[in-house]
Amino acid sequence: MAHLKTLNAPKLWPVERKKTKFTAKSSPGPHPLTKGITLSLLLREILNYAKTTREIKKIINTKQIIIDKVPRKDHKFPVGIMDLIEIPKLNKSYRLIVDNNKKFVVNEVNGENSNLKPLKIIGKTTLKKNKTQLNLFDGRNVIVEKDSYKVGDTIIYNFAKNNIQSYLKLGKKARVYIMDGKYQGRIGEVEDIKKEAKNDRIVIKDKDGKFETLKKYAFVIDENVIS
Protein backbone atom coordinates (compact mmCIF):
# COMPACT_ATOMS: atom_id res chain seq x y z
CA MET A 1 0.00 0.00 0.00
CA ALA A 2 1.39 3.43 -0.95
CA HIS A 3 1.85 5.69 2.03
CA LEU A 4 2.72 9.34 2.47
CA LYS A 5 4.49 11.00 5.38
CA THR A 6 1.96 13.19 7.14
CA LEU A 7 4.48 16.05 7.20
CA ASN A 8 4.41 15.95 3.39
CA ALA A 9 0.64 15.57 3.08
CA PRO A 10 -1.27 18.39 1.34
CA LYS A 11 -2.03 21.24 3.73
CA LEU A 12 -5.72 20.89 2.87
CA TRP A 13 -5.83 17.45 4.52
CA PRO A 14 -7.07 17.27 8.14
CA VAL A 15 -4.28 15.01 9.43
CA GLU A 16 -2.50 15.17 12.78
CA ARG A 17 1.02 15.77 11.51
CA LYS A 18 2.77 15.46 14.87
CA LYS A 19 0.93 12.38 16.10
CA THR A 20 0.80 10.19 12.99
CA LYS A 21 3.86 9.46 10.88
CA PHE A 22 2.16 8.09 7.76
CA THR A 23 -1.16 8.37 5.98
CA ALA A 24 -2.50 6.59 2.89
CA LYS A 25 -1.65 8.23 -0.42
CA SER A 26 -4.56 8.80 -2.79
CA SER A 27 -5.00 6.54 -5.80
CA PRO A 28 -4.74 7.90 -9.36
CA GLY A 29 -8.04 9.52 -10.28
CA PRO A 30 -9.82 12.69 -11.38
CA HIS A 31 -7.95 14.93 -8.93
CA PRO A 32 -4.19 15.26 -8.31
CA LEU A 33 -2.76 14.63 -4.85
CA THR A 34 -2.69 18.32 -3.89
CA LYS A 35 -6.28 18.99 -5.03
CA GLY A 36 -8.14 16.05 -3.54
CA ILE A 37 -8.58 14.08 -0.33
CA THR A 38 -8.80 10.34 0.07
CA LEU A 39 -12.26 8.91 0.57
CA SER A 40 -10.97 7.37 3.81
CA LEU A 41 -9.96 10.75 5.30
CA LEU A 42 -13.18 12.33 4.10
CA LEU A 43 -15.33 9.74 5.87
CA ARG A 44 -13.24 9.62 9.05
CA GLU A 45 -12.08 13.20 9.65
CA ILE A 46 -14.67 15.40 7.91
CA LEU A 47 -17.95 13.48 7.85
CA ASN A 48 -17.22 11.46 11.03
CA TYR A 49 -18.93 8.52 9.40
CA ALA A 50 -16.39 5.90 10.51
CA LYS A 51 -13.46 5.62 12.88
CA THR A 52 -11.17 3.00 11.36
CA THR A 53 -10.00 1.97 7.90
CA ARG A 54 -11.63 -1.42 8.49
CA GLU A 55 -15.02 0.22 9.09
CA ILE A 56 -14.55 2.42 6.03
CA LYS A 57 -13.77 -0.53 3.77
CA LYS A 58 -16.85 -2.36 5.03
CA ILE A 59 -19.02 0.69 4.31
CA ILE A 60 -17.73 1.36 0.79
CA ASN A 61 -17.76 -2.31 -0.20
CA THR A 62 -21.53 -2.26 0.26
CA LYS A 63 -21.81 0.76 -2.07
CA GLN A 64 -22.93 3.13 0.68
CA ILE A 65 -20.81 6.03 -0.60
CA ILE A 66 -21.61 7.63 -3.96
CA ILE A 67 -19.26 10.20 -5.55
CA ASP A 68 -20.73 12.12 -8.50
CA LYS A 69 -23.38 9.39 -8.86
CA VAL A 70 -20.82 6.55 -8.97
CA PRO A 71 -20.38 4.11 -6.03
CA ARG A 72 -16.71 4.12 -5.01
CA LYS A 73 -15.09 1.07 -3.43
CA ASP A 74 -11.51 2.29 -3.14
CA HIS A 75 -10.85 3.92 0.24
CA LYS A 76 -7.98 5.88 -1.36
CA PHE A 77 -10.10 7.30 -4.17
CA PRO A 78 -9.42 11.08 -4.48
CA VAL A 79 -12.44 13.29 -3.83
CA GLY A 80 -11.97 16.89 -4.97
CA ILE A 81 -13.44 20.38 -4.86
CA MET A 82 -17.09 20.54 -5.96
CA ASP A 83 -17.49 16.75 -5.96
CA LEU A 84 -20.90 15.53 -4.86
CA ILE A 85 -20.86 13.01 -1.99
CA GLU A 86 -24.02 11.02 -1.27
CA ILE A 87 -24.80 8.64 1.56
CA PRO A 88 -28.16 7.08 0.57
CA LYS A 89 -28.49 5.20 3.86
CA LEU A 90 -28.65 8.54 5.69
CA ASN A 91 -30.42 10.38 2.87
CA LYS A 92 -27.62 12.95 2.94
CA SER A 93 -25.75 14.77 0.17
CA TYR A 94 -22.71 17.00 0.47
CA ARG A 95 -20.38 19.06 -1.69
CA LEU A 96 -16.66 19.22 -0.93
CA ILE A 97 -15.05 22.66 -0.84
CA VAL A 98 -12.09 24.44 0.76
CA ASP A 99 -12.97 27.04 3.39
CA ASN A 100 -11.28 30.32 4.37
CA ASN A 101 -8.91 28.39 6.63
CA LYS A 102 -7.65 26.47 3.60
CA LYS A 103 -9.04 23.17 4.83
CA PHE A 104 -11.42 20.73 3.17
CA VAL A 105 -14.98 20.95 4.50
CA VAL A 106 -18.40 19.86 3.23
CA ASN A 107 -21.58 21.79 2.56
CA GLU A 108 -24.83 19.88 2.80
CA VAL A 109 -26.96 20.07 -0.35
CA ASN A 110 -30.63 19.20 -0.69
CA GLY A 111 -33.33 18.61 -3.28
CA GLU A 112 -32.49 19.32 -6.90
CA ASN A 113 -29.02 20.57 -5.94
CA SER A 114 -28.03 16.99 -5.12
CA ASN A 115 -28.16 16.28 -8.87
CA LEU A 116 -26.10 19.29 -9.91
CA LYS A 117 -22.37 19.84 -10.19
CA PRO A 118 -20.60 23.04 -11.27
CA LEU A 119 -17.80 22.29 -13.72
CA LYS A 120 -15.19 24.82 -14.75
CA ILE A 121 -14.15 24.80 -18.41
CA ILE A 122 -10.36 24.56 -18.68
CA GLY A 123 -10.10 23.89 -22.40
CA LYS A 124 -11.97 23.18 -25.61
CA THR A 125 -11.41 20.77 -28.50
CA THR A 126 -12.96 21.11 -31.96
CA LEU A 127 -14.41 17.85 -33.27
CA LYS A 128 -15.84 16.73 -36.59
CA LYS A 129 -19.19 18.05 -37.83
CA ASN A 130 -18.63 21.39 -36.05
CA LYS A 131 -19.04 19.86 -32.62
CA THR A 132 -17.03 21.07 -29.62
CA GLN A 133 -15.71 19.12 -26.66
CA LEU A 134 -15.59 21.03 -23.39
CA ASN A 135 -12.66 19.90 -21.26
CA LEU A 136 -13.59 20.28 -17.59
CA PHE A 137 -11.51 20.73 -14.45
CA ASP A 138 -12.30 17.30 -12.97
CA GLY A 139 -11.21 15.37 -16.07
CA ARG A 140 -14.68 15.13 -17.61
CA ASN A 141 -15.47 16.02 -21.19
CA VAL A 142 -18.84 17.18 -22.52
CA ILE A 143 -19.66 17.45 -26.23
CA VAL A 144 -21.87 20.35 -27.33
CA GLU A 145 -23.47 21.08 -30.68
CA LYS A 146 -23.26 24.86 -30.40
CA ASP A 147 -20.12 26.42 -29.00
CA SER A 148 -21.18 29.43 -26.96
CA TYR A 149 -18.78 28.64 -24.12
CA LYS A 150 -15.45 30.16 -23.11
CA VAL A 151 -12.52 28.78 -21.15
CA GLY A 152 -12.86 29.95 -17.54
CA ASP A 153 -16.65 29.84 -17.56
CA THR A 154 -18.70 27.30 -15.60
CA ILE A 155 -21.37 24.87 -16.69
CA ILE A 156 -23.89 23.43 -14.23
CA TYR A 157 -24.26 19.77 -15.11
CA ASN A 158 -27.40 17.83 -14.22
CA PHE A 159 -26.57 14.20 -13.46
CA ALA A 160 -30.22 13.15 -13.44
CA LYS A 161 -30.80 14.44 -16.97
CA ASN A 162 -27.24 14.02 -18.23
CA ASN A 163 -27.16 17.49 -19.70
CA ILE A 164 -25.97 21.04 -19.14
CA GLN A 165 -28.64 22.75 -17.07
CA SER A 166 -27.17 26.24 -17.08
CA TYR A 167 -24.10 28.28 -17.93
CA LEU A 168 -22.27 30.88 -15.84
CA LYS A 169 -19.96 33.39 -17.50
CA LEU A 170 -16.78 34.74 -15.94
CA GLY A 171 -17.09 38.51 -16.13
CA LYS A 172 -17.85 41.60 -14.10
CA LYS A 173 -20.49 41.07 -11.40
CA ALA A 174 -20.01 37.29 -11.55
CA ARG A 175 -19.95 35.47 -8.20
CA VAL A 176 -16.73 33.51 -7.90
CA TYR A 177 -15.08 31.05 -5.55
CA ILE A 178 -11.28 31.15 -5.38
CA MET A 179 -9.90 27.64 -5.88
CA ASP A 180 -6.20 28.23 -5.32
CA GLY A 181 -3.55 30.69 -4.23
CA LYS A 182 -3.29 33.06 -1.28
CA TYR A 183 -7.04 33.77 -1.17
CA GLN A 184 -8.23 30.18 -1.62
CA GLY A 185 -11.68 29.57 -0.16
CA ARG A 186 -12.91 33.18 -0.40
CA ILE A 187 -16.09 34.06 -2.29
CA GLY A 188 -16.84 37.41 -3.84
CA GLU A 189 -17.99 39.43 -6.82
CA VAL A 190 -15.79 40.25 -9.81
CA GLU A 191 -15.06 43.99 -10.03
CA ASP A 192 -12.48 43.96 -12.80
CA ILE A 193 -10.45 41.67 -15.04
CA LYS A 194 -6.96 42.87 -15.93
CA LYS A 195 -5.47 41.65 -19.20
CA GLU A 196 -1.77 40.91 -18.87
CA ALA A 197 0.89 39.40 -21.12
CA LYS A 198 1.18 36.06 -19.32
CA ASN A 199 -1.52 35.57 -16.68
CA ASP A 200 -4.64 37.72 -16.51
CA ARG A 201 -5.55 38.94 -13.04
CA ILE A 202 -8.93 39.48 -11.46
CA VAL A 203 -10.15 41.95 -8.83
CA ILE A 204 -12.65 40.54 -6.33
CA LYS A 205 -14.77 42.24 -3.68
CA ASP A 206 -16.11 40.27 -0.73
CA LYS A 207 -17.33 40.98 2.80
CA ASP A 208 -13.76 41.66 3.97
CA GLY A 209 -12.80 44.07 1.21
CA LYS A 210 -11.05 43.84 -2.15
CA PHE A 211 -8.26 41.56 -3.27
CA GLU A 212 -6.52 40.61 -6.51
CA THR A 213 -5.53 37.17 -7.71
CA LEU A 214 -4.90 35.23 -10.89
CA LYS A 215 -7.92 34.88 -13.15
CA LYS A 216 -7.28 31.15 -13.52
CA TYR A 217 -8.00 30.68 -9.79
CA ALA A 218 -11.59 31.99 -10.14
CA PHE A 219 -14.46 29.49 -10.35
CA VAL A 220 -17.82 31.01 -11.26
CA ILE A 221 -20.59 29.74 -8.99
CA ASP A 222 -24.18 30.50 -8.04
CA GLU A 223 -25.81 30.54 -4.63
CA ASN A 224 -26.82 26.89 -4.90
CA VAL A 225 -23.18 25.81 -4.77
CA ILE A 226 -21.88 27.57 -1.68
CA SER A 227 -24.06 29.58 0.67
pLDDT at 165: 94
219 Cβ contact partners less than 8 Å away, ≥ 6 residues apart: 81, 82, 118, 120, 137, 154, 176, 177, 178, 179
Residue 220, strand partner residues:
176
Whole-number pLDDT of residue 101:
86
- DSSP 3-state of 203: strand
* CATH 3.10.290.10 domain position(s) in the chain: 3-109
Helix/strand/coil for 142:
strand
pLDDT score for 23: 72
Q: Which CATH class is domain 114-168?
A: mainly beta
The pLDDT assigned to 197 comes to 86
Taken in order 37, 38, 41, 42, is the CA torsion positive or negative?
positive
In the chain, ranges of CATH 2.40.50.740 domains: 114-168
Residue 149: its pLDDT value, please?
96
CB atoms within 10 A of CB 174: 20
Q: Fold for domain 175-220? A: SH3 type barrels. (2.30.30)
- In tens digits, what is the pLDDT along the chain, a chain of 227 residues? 466 677 666 677 776 655 666 677 788 888 887 889 999 999 998 999 999 989 999 999 999 999 999 999 999 999 999 999 999 999 999 999 998 888 899 999 998 899 999 999 999 999 998 899 999 999 999 999 989 999 999 999 999 999 999 999 999 999 999 999 999 999 999 999 999 988 999 999 999 999 999 999 999 999 866 65
How many CB atoms within 10 Å of residue 119? 21
- Rounded to whole angstroms, how far apart are CA atoms 179 and 220? 10
Answer yes or no: are the C-beta atoms of 140 and 119 closer than 8 Å. Answer: yes
pTM (global) more than 0.85: yes
Which pLDDT belongs to residue 179? Answer: 93
User: Residue 227's pLDDT is what?
Assistant: 53
Distance from C-alpha of 108 to C-alpha of 4, rounded to nearest angstrom: 29
Determine the pLDDT at residue 31.
87
Max intra-chain CA distance, the chain: 58
Task: For domain 3-109, give the CATH superfamily.
Answer: RNA-binding S4 domain (3.10.290.10)
